[in-house]
Structures are given as C-alpha cells and as structure tokens.
Structure 1
Amino acid sequence: MTIISDPLQYNEDDLFVDLHSVVGHSLFLKCEGFNFAGSIKLKAAVGMIEAAEREGLLNQWSILVESSSGNLGVALAMAAASKGYRFLCVTDSRCNDATRRLIQVLGSGVHVVTEPDPLGGLLGARLDHIRRLCASSSRYVWLDQYANPNNWMAHHRTTAPAIARQFPDLDVLFVGAGTTGTLMGCARWFRWWHPQVHIVAIDAAGSVSFGGPPGRRLIPGLGMSVPPPQLHASLVDDVVVVEEEDAIRACHRLAGRGYVFGGSTGTVVSGAAAWLDRYGGADLTAVAIAPDLGERYLDTVYSPSWLGEHFGDGVLEPPIEVGTDVRSA
C-alpha cells in the first residue's frame, strides 16, 4: 500500500514498456508520466523550486514565473499549489486548451503570447514578457528552466541512475531534446559512470537546437527556437531529427496497441525506431525515455479535424517507418 500526504511524494519511476511488437526492434520505453503532474517535468519543477527555497529566493509574497509550452507549466502549478506559492505560466498558442485549463484549475495564472519575436519566435516573445515582469516587480521569481542547472541535475540525480539500475548492460539511450535538461542530466551521468552507453538525442524538425534551420512546429514539448543554453553537444553521440508527421504516426501506432502517449513521446519513439533501423542489432539493449502521456493531446495529435487542418487528411496513411534524418552530433 502506498499512502501519501503530498502530491509531490508520488512518482512511478521504474515502469518500462517493451516496444518490440510496435517498432520491430528491442526497445524499452521508460514511462515518466505516471505522477500527478502527468509528465517527466515534475522532476525539474521540484528540483528548481526546492533549490530556490534553499537559496532564500522565495517567500510568502513571491510569484513564481516560467515559460512553458505545457507540461512544465502543469508541474509547476501542481508544485506551487502543494507548497503554497503563486505561479504564472507564460505560454503561447501551441499550448493546448486542456493544459491551460489544468494549470488554472490548480490555482495558477496563464498568460498566452500571440505575436512571435522576429528573431526568437514565440519562445523569444515569451522570454521577453518574463523579463519585463521581473523588471516591474521583485515579487516575480523566474526559475528559468532553460539555464537553471537544477533542471539537468534533477535527471542526473534520478532519471539516469533509475535506468542504469534496471539495465546495467545498456548500449544506447534515446532522449528527447527540449530545454535539454533531461538530455544533459542523463548524458553527464552516463559519461561518468557508464561511458560506453551511446547517447542519441531526438529533436523535432524546425528546431534550431543542433544547428538545423528554424521551421513550423505545432506539437509542443521538444525542440527550441533559440539555442538551448544547457546543451553541450559534445556529450551527445548522434542526433535524430523527426518530422511532426512521423511523430503523429508513431503516436497513433502506439495507441493502436493500447498505449496513448503524448506528442513528445511519439517523437522519441519515431526517432529511436529510425536509428535502430539503421544501426540496431539483435543483441543491442536500447532504452528510450517517454516524457508524457496522451490525454492532453486528444484535441490535437489525436483529433482527425486538427490533423486534417494542419497536415492534410492523408497524414496517417504512410507507415511509421517513413525516413527521418539521422546524423552524428
């Protein structure tokens, strides 16, 4: 029996799904969405807030503020409610309505940026808005997930060693690249303790994180429109860039087997399958990290009308094995 008195106390950290029947390769998916925030972002949220508390940055009048496309916003809203802080999530039009409403149900505010910055896109506009807020009042405390080392340290402390405990003979680890907190935390840990593990970053097409050209991105979560400050590309062995259409097909293929995951997870699974198609072997032990579950994507990734509007009616017709860009970091 598990009994808790605080929602932050629960996180199922040792659940893996064998995806061999889905992708045709030996691939174990580490499911990170089974907590009250519904995503891996709970680890970063708690890590950054508790560090701010230790540093004396927070008091009863503080207003936490953060830029998020969705999942971190929910995690921070839940943590703020648990700890008694106020929180304002600064997001943009890509954040779906269900996520915005959930943040508000948890007692936090939501500000939606609609006009992109000419150079930094919607993310740049979000960050500019936060800087103006912080300049207007000392009550605002910006956690800054993009540059805050407690983001990657949370995964260095928890996610990476949890994988190593279950897979001591791990050969390759696939990690989605957003702020790169999860990626850098895991990469640093494995470089130190198990340097033979091959680290593969999964990025979204249209992201500039690894030097690709900026482009349209409709699925929130992975990818950046500005270079991520925490990224050290030397810690990454390969990069797989996944088109959103392929991420969508991966989500639907997983759902066809009874697993409803989010857009970020679909991107990671699609990229991992593409890498394994090229480099995988029967004796390879591979793990991919699934950052989120799918309920918040019912009106987007799993909506026929949304898919038809943005990708055309035939988006689900090609098989999941449609090619993606695999390259060395």
Structure 2
Amino acid sequence: MPVISAPYAFNEEDLYVDLRPVLGCRLFLKCEGFNFAGSVKLKAAAAMVEAAEQEGVLTPRSALVESSSGNLGVALSVIAASKGYKFLCVTDSRCNLATRLIMEALGSQVHVINDPEPHGTYLAARLDYVRELCASDSRWVWLSQYTNPANWRAHYRSTAPAIARRFPKLDVLFVGAGTTGTLMGCARYFRHWHRPVHIVAVDSVGSVTFGGPSGRRMIPGLGMGVRPPLLDESYVDEAVMVEEADTIRSCRQLARRGFLFGGSTGTVVSGAAQWLARHDDPSVTAVAIAPDLGERYLDTVYQDNWVQALYDNTPAPTRRTA
C-alpha cells in the first residue's frame, strides 16, 4: 500500500469493472473515482496547478478561482487545502448540494450563479463572473479548465497509458465529453499508439459540443453550453448523445447491482451500451471511463421526487421491491 503526505498524490489507476453481468455486453469500466477528490478531475486539477506553479503564475500570495459544475471544484479544493491556497469555486444552481458542502468543508468558498445570462447559459454567466473578479484584483489566478492544455495532457500522460497497459488489444474507448480534457488526452494518445482504437465521445442531449441544439441539462458534469475550446474533432471517430432519463436509468441499474456511480458515469455507460447494442460484435474489446462515484447524486439522480419533478418517464426506483 502507498504511503502519502499529500491528498493529490494518490489515485487508483488500475481498477476496472466487468459490466457483462449487468449489461449483457462486453464492456470494461475504468473507475476513476477512487481518490480523495472522488473523481477523474483530480488529475487535471493537479496538472493545472503544477503547471501554473512552474510557470510562476501561481505564487504563495495568489488565490485560485475556477468555474466548475462540481467535480473539478472539489478536486481544486483538495489541492488548495493541501498547498495552502485560497480557492473560490464559481458554480451554478445545478451543482449538487453535497458537492458544495464538500468544497466548503475543505475550506473553499463557493459562489453560486442562480440565473443564466440573458439569452445565454449558466456557463457564460459563470465565466463573466470569473473574468470580472480577475480584472478587479491581480492576485486571483484562473486556471481555466476549458482552455488549459494541462487539462488534456494529464490524461495523455496517465489515463490513456494505463488503459493501454491493461488492454493491449483495445478496440473501442468510450469517453465522456465535458471540457473534453479527458477525451482529448486519451484520443491523442491512442492516435499515436501502435494500433488503431475507435474513439467514441459520449455527450448529453442538450449539449452543444458536437453541434447539437442547446437544451435543458440538469445533471452536472458532462455537456457544455458553449463549444469546448480544447476539442479537436479530428481525433474523435464518432459521438453518442444520451438523454438524461437514460443516464438516470443506467445509474440506477448499476446501483441495483451494488455499484453506486455518478451522473457522468451513468451517461458514459448508457452511451457505450447503446453503441455496443447497435454493433453487436462479441469479439470487440471495449473500455469506458467512469469519471465519478455516486454519493454526491443521492439528492438528485437517486432521489425519486427530484426525478419525477423533472422527467416525464420516471426511471424505475433504485430500491428493489418484493
């Protein structure tokens, strides 16, 4: 077992779940939530902070600010607490309450945007707030996960090589698309690998990342209200769009088998299962990346009243009935 002195020094890299007993198709799920931030975002957060320190942008007198729907905010809260930085997370009303409480418990400040920009999005309003704050005081340092190349480089150096070592005959990789840091890092790595890997991006209906119309999205994590600057579609073979109701069904299907995953993971699993069902090739070796765990979604994805209030076709309840 490793012995660490900093919370960002540990991340479980080699845990996979074989989902055949759950889904009936051959899919291996790479679990990225077993670290002190509870999600894959710890990798990007650590890489961006390290790059800013090395470049001299981030100094002991600096204060961090970042726009996040939740998971990156928690990851930066972990790192800021460990390194002694002040951190302000700018989020919006869709951020899970548990996520906000975790950030505050770690000593971070949380500013919640309750209204989108006129004729705009919550993300646009969040970014406007961050820009105004940075303009008002030079001590604020914005890492900008949406444009920072350290975001995708973290996965080029860690996530993708770990998958390649475990699955040398990998055929298909499913990656959720948010900022597209994980997607771009993995896609770039496998483009330069010794054998072709089909890269499938999984996104939420209502996201504009791959050119679809903007729509309501209530589950934080994947999807964007503006096109992600990090995205280079030439590295992506295809994109699968998932309805939020299907995300919830997948989360609850996994929970009924003892695997409590978060909304982003539910979206990726749903998209992967749809793709594999259409292609129906039992010889395919497929891996999907699970970005998060489910504890932060107990009052949303796993809460029947929340689901029924938002969706017409309510997924089956998590608990089993006699």
Q: Which TM-score bucket, shorter chain as reference? A: over 0.9
Kindly state the Cα deviation for residue 193 of structure 1 after the two structures are TM-superposed: 1.1
Equivalent residue letter for 2:139: R
Q: State the partner residue of 1:296.
A: 296
Is 1:108 aligned to residue 108 of structure 2? yes
Matches within 5 A, 1:242-257: 242-257=242-257
* Alpha-carbon distance in structure 2 between the residues aligned to 1:202 and 1:171: 16
Secondary structure of the corresponding residue to residue 215 of structure 2: coil
Secondary structure of the corresponding residue to residue 288 of structure 1: strand
Write the deviation string for residues 181-231 of structure 1: whole angstroms up to 9, x where unpaired. Answer: 000000000001145100000000000000000000000000000000000
Kindly state the Cα deviation for residue 114 of structure 1 after the two structures are TM-superposed: 1.1
Equivalent residue letter for 1:71: N
* Alpha-carbon distance in structure 1 between the residues aligned to 2:234 and 2:120: 24
Matches within 5 A, 1:297-312: 297-312=297-312
- Verify the 8 A CA contact 1:203 1:223 in the aligned structure 2: yes
- Verify the 8 A CA contact 1:120 1:226 in the aligned structure 2: no
* Alpha-carbon distance in structure 2 between the residues aligned to 1:291 and 1:274: 19
Secondary structure of the corresponding residue to residue 193 of structure 1: coil
* Alpha-carbon distance in structure 2 between the residues aligned to 1:217 and 1:144: 22
Is 1:82 aligned to residue 86 of structure 2? no
Is 1:38 aligned to residue 35 of structure 2? no
Is 1:16 aligned to residue 16 of structure 2? yes
Kindly state the Cα deviation for residue 4 of structure 1 after the two structures are TM-superposed: 1.5
- Verify the 8 A CA contact 1:151 1:182 in the aligned structure 2: yes
Judge which range, 119-128 or 172-181, deviates more.
Answer: 119-128
* Alpha-carbon distance in structure 2 between the residues aligned to 1:194 and 1:164: 10
- Verify the 8 A CA contact 1:174 1:288 in the aligned structure 2: yes
Tell me the number of residue pairs that the alignment of Structure 1 and Structure 2 aligns.
317
Kindly state the Cα deviation for residue 267 of structure 1 after the two structures are TM-superposed: 0.1
Equivalent residue letter for 2:200: V
Q: State the partner residue of 1:276.
A: 276
Is 1:150 aligned to residue 150 of structure 2? yes
Matches within 5 A, 1:2-13: 2-13=2-13
Equivalent residue letter for 1:246: D
Kindly state the Cα deviation for residue 119 of structure 1 after the two structures are TM-superposed: 4.3
The two structures have a TM-score, normalised by structure 2, of 0.97
- Verify the 8 A CA contact 1:268 1:290 in the aligned structure 2: yes
The two structures have a TM-score, normalised by structure 1, of 0.95
* Alpha-carbon distance in structure 1 between the residues aligned to 2:257 and 2:243: 22
Q: State the partner residue of 1:117.
A: 117
Matches within 5 A, 1:123-162: 123-162=123-162
Is 1:197 aligned to residue 197 of structure 2? yes
Kindly state the Cα deviation for residue 118 of structure 1 after the two structures are TM-superposed: 3.0
- Verify the 8 A CA contact 1:86 1:108 in the aligned structure 2: yes
Judge which range, 81-90 or 186-195, deviates more.
Answer: 186-195
Q: State the partner residue of 1:264.
A: 264
Q: State the partner residue of 1:315.
A: 314
* Alpha-carbon distance in structure 2 between the residues aligned to 1:5 and 1:182: 26
Q: State the partner residue of 1:62.
A: 62
* Alpha-carbon distance in structure 2 between the residues aligned to 1:154 and 1:119: 34
The structure 1 segments of at least 4 consecutive aligned residues displaced by more than 2 Å after TM superposition are none
* Alpha-carbon distance in structure 2 between the residues aligned to 1:280 and 1:186: 24
* Alpha-carbon distance in structure 2 between the residues aligned to 1:232 and 1:76: 25
Kindly state the Cα deviation for residue 117 of structure 1 after the two structures are TM-superposed: 1.5
Kindly state the Cα deviation for residue 280 of structure 1 after the two structures are TM-superposed: 3.5
Secondary structure of the corresponding residue to residue 138 of structure 2: coil
* Alpha-carbon distance in structure 2 between the residues aligned to 1:162 and 1:63: 33
Secondary structure of the corresponding residue to residue 246 of structure 1: helix
Kindly state the Cα deviation for residue 120 of structure 1 after the two structures are TM-superposed: 3.6
Tell me the percent identity. 68
Kindly state the Cα deviation for residue 164 of structure 1 after the two structures are TM-superposed: 0.2
In structure 2, stretches of 5+ residues that fail to align are 318-322
